[in-house]
Structure 1
Amino acid sequence: MSAPLLTLYRRMQRWPAGNWLFSRAVCFKAPYFASIAPRITLLEPGRCEGRIAHRRKVTNHIGTVHAIALCNLAELTAGLMVDASLPKGMRWIPKGMEVQYLAKATGTQHAVATPEQPIVAAEAGYALPVKVQVRDDAGTAVFEARIAMWVSPVKR
């Protein structure tokens, strides 16, 4: 049985503009992410890919994509990946993020989030590190994040 979020994503993939509709639905549920106008391009257990266009609202004073826009993209893709991968009866919350800015971010930015260890059901909570790498259109890595997620059983 797949996670409800993953079920919704798969259902919307059958429709024209399914990625756009799914991305809008995510931003409706979590409005803060609408500030970067993300597009989720792939969601499956253990992997989420998304992108943001380089537009004025995510541009900083030197003309590149703002560092916090990249952080938002990383947190969004990591959270969606974990949510889509969780066994039934488990929940998650981000607890911290370490980031590295590797190059100037210009143009469309493409993020890939993957877990650093298997996501499993457990009787006690556990730390789950998630790696997110962001590349530009040329394939240059411009940003990396390691997001500390806390995965725990749903309280009854």
Structure 2
Amino acid sequence: MPNRLLELYRRMRRWPGGAWLFSRAGCFRAPYFSSIAPRVAVLEPCRCEAVMEHRRRVTNHLGTVHAIALCNLAELAAGLMAEASLPAGMRWIPRGMEVEYLRKARGRMHAIATPDRPPAESAAPYDLPVTVQVRDPGGGVVFRAVIRLHVSPRPPGRG
């Protein structure tokens, strides 16, 4: 069965402004993410890349990108990756996040989310660790997170 989110992403990417519109639609569905104004750069099974501009609204008192803005970007990328990768009969919810702030975050932030193993269909719930690295414009890793997703079967009759 084709993944509806991936189909929508691929279709919208062909339109002028489609990547922007897809990103805005994601923020409409989960409004909190609009606080960082993310843009989805790549979405495919087992990989999501999202970017966030260094704007005043995501800046801390040091003039760098705020730690929680980086967490938001990481959670967005991990969630979209999961939604695009899980079999149709499965669902997910974040269960925990371990983060490392490695150096000052300045400029456009580029997050790359990949699962530690491919998600699978299962009759029993399981945890799926997703690693997210956030890089600065020079390619240096400024932030790393492991987001633990709780994956479980969808209840019957819910699509």
Taking structure 1 as the reference length, the TM-score comes to 0.99
1:21 to 2:28 alignment:
no
Distance 1:60 1:3 in 2: 38
Q: Which residue of 2 aligns with 1:37?
A: 37
1:54 alignment counterpart:
54
Structure 2 CA distance, aligned partners of 1:20 and 1:108? 16
Displacement of 1:93: 0.4
* In 1: Cα distance, 2:46 partner to 2:58 partner: 28
User: What does residue 107 of structure 1 align with?
Assistant: 107
User: 1:127 maps to which residue?
Assistant: 127
Aligned to 1:11: 11
Shift of the alpha carbon at 1:118? 1.6
Q: Deviations over 1:69-97 (max 9, x none)?
A: 00000000000000000111110000000
Measure, in 2, the Cα distance between the counterparts of 1:7 and 1:153: 22
Task: Please name the residue that 1:148 is paired with.
Answer: 148
Between the aligned partners of 2:6 and 2:93, the Cα distance in structure 1 is 18
Aligned partner of 1:116 in structure 2 is 116
Identity rate, percent:
66
- Partners of 2:3 and 2:129 in 1: how far apart? 20
Q: CA deviation at 1:105?
A: 0.1
Alignment partners' CA distance in 2, 1:146 and 1:44:
19
What letter corresponds to residue 32 of structure 2 in structure 1?
Answer: Y
The one-letter code of the counterpart of 1:142 is V
3-state SS in 1 of match to 2:10: helix
SS in 2 for 1:155: coil
Q: CA RMSD in A?
A: 0.6
Any conservation in 2 of the 1:6–1:44 contact (CA below 8 Å)?
yes
Gaps of 5+ in 1: none
Q: What is the Cα deviation at residue 21 of structure 1?
A: 0.6
SS at match of 1:106: coil
SS at match of 1:117: coil
- Deviation, 1:154, is 0.3
CA contact (8 A) 1:102 1:143 kept: yes
CA distance in 2, matches of 1:11, 1:62: 40
Q: 1:155, CA displacement in angstroms?
A: 1.0
The aligned amino acid for 1:23 is S
Q: What secondary structure does 1:150 align onto?
A: strand
Q: Which runs of 4+ in 1 moved over 2 A?
A: none
